[in-house]
Structure 1
Amino acid sequence: MDRSGKEKLVTELQETLNAANLVVVTQQNGLSVAEVSDLRRKMRAAGAGFKVAKNRLATLALKGTKHEDLGTFLKGPTAIAYSADPIAAAKVAVLYAKTNDKLKIVGGSMGTQTLNAAGITALATLPSLDELRARLVGMLQTPATRLAVVTGAPAGQLARVFGAYARKGEA
């Protein structure tokens, strides 16, 4: 790759990293092309991305971004997973690393905070943003349902009492 191609790659990677809220650095020793393609497909489905880049170019791309401290993790055969969702890339990477021993989580960054491998694994166990929204809506909806049942119960009881008196009066 010539110099202009490298500069273009660094610029594109830097733009991608600036837009990402979460960056996960992984080591992939011996992953086949099919396995990397499978991982990329899973990342795309989750709204994340996976990029294999030379460590030197990735270090240059990290400069000036909020994930600048990740340069210390870039040793050996590394790749970068990234996502705008603060959990998506971590979930997919950790799940894939559990099923494939060739992929290891090295560390990552969420915003300006640098995380080690244990931090990324802990982040992956959190529910996604959609799951949290669903839980919140459920919590907000439950009291309203209970309130409707409670306020409707006395009126129903009153109607049953009047109905019983009416049947008694007819007999």
Structure 2
Amino acid sequence: MDHAQKAQMIEKAQIVTDTKLRIEDAKLMILTRNNGVTAEQDRRFRKSLRDEGGSVKIVKNSLAKRALAGTKFEGLATYLSGPIGIVISQDPVVAARVAHAFAKETNGKLEIVGGATTDGVMDLAKIKYLATLPSLDGLRGKLVGLLQAPGAQLARVTNAYATKDQA
């Protein structure tokens, strides 16, 4: 084995290790297939994912299968054929929502192939359902609003009662 072959093996091992580290921390993984997405659309897709805390990585399928081996997303290895993008996020909704939105925007040029959460592989219907849910930050905001509403209502009633006596 010459020097170039050794360097190539080391590079492949590094790609597998890096990919495995990225997916081990993820809560959701979506596999997408690019069927003619323009460079501008791809840039916007990646930026939207980054802005929401997700990312996409394109890896050769053979290396992706090695990276998935032994992880919670191992069941997705059967979907790895053709040009596949690995979309991951910490928020269990972000990757689904952004990928689904771009699939609709590109009229199927970006295709969702499969996905999985920490609980296992999901079908496309479950991925579409996840895409309709608000993000964790959105849910937290709604919860804070709901918790603040009774206090605000009490303050308004108390204020109205106090100003009524003054008048």
User: What range describes the TM-score normalised by the shorter chain of this pair?
Assistant: 0.7 to 0.9
Give distance in 1, aligned partners of 2:129 and 2:82.
24
Mapped pair 1:60 → 2:66: yes
Greater displacement, 14-23 / 29-38: 29-38
Q: Hey, what does 2:139 align to over in structure 1?
A: 132
Amino acid at match of 2:21: E
> By how many angstroms is 1:108 displaced?
0.5
Give distance in 1, aligned partners of 2:162 and 2:43.
62
Q: Hey, what does 1:37 align to over in structure 2?
A: 43
Give distance in 2, aligned partners of 1:158 and 1:47.
52
Give distance in 2, aligned partners of 1:46 and 1:59.
26
Pick from 7, 19, 40 the counterpart of residue 13 of structure 2.
7
Task: For residue 2 of structure 1, give the secondary structure of its aligned residue in structure 2.
Answer: helix
Contact 1:106 1:116 in 2 (8 A): no
TM-score, normalised to structure 1, is 0.86
Q: Percent identity?
A: 42
Pick from 127, 137, 157 the counterpart of residue 150 of structure 1.
157
Pick from 73, 76, 80 the counterpart of residue 74 of structure 1.
80
> By how many angstroms is 1:126 displaced?
0.2
Q: 1:158 to 1:31 in 2, by over 3 A?
A: closer
> By how many angstroms is 1:31 displaced?
2.7
Greater displacement, 149-158 / 92-101: 149-158
Matches within 5 A, 1:60-139: 60-100=66-106, 101-139=108-146
Higher CA-based Rg: 1
TM-score, normalised to structure 2, is 0.88
Amino acid at match of 1:45: D
Aligned residues: 160
Structure 1 unmatched runs, 5+? 161-171
Give distance in 1, aligned partners of 2:55 and 2:66.
19
Amino acid at match of 1:52: I
> By how many angstroms is 1:44 displaced?
1.1
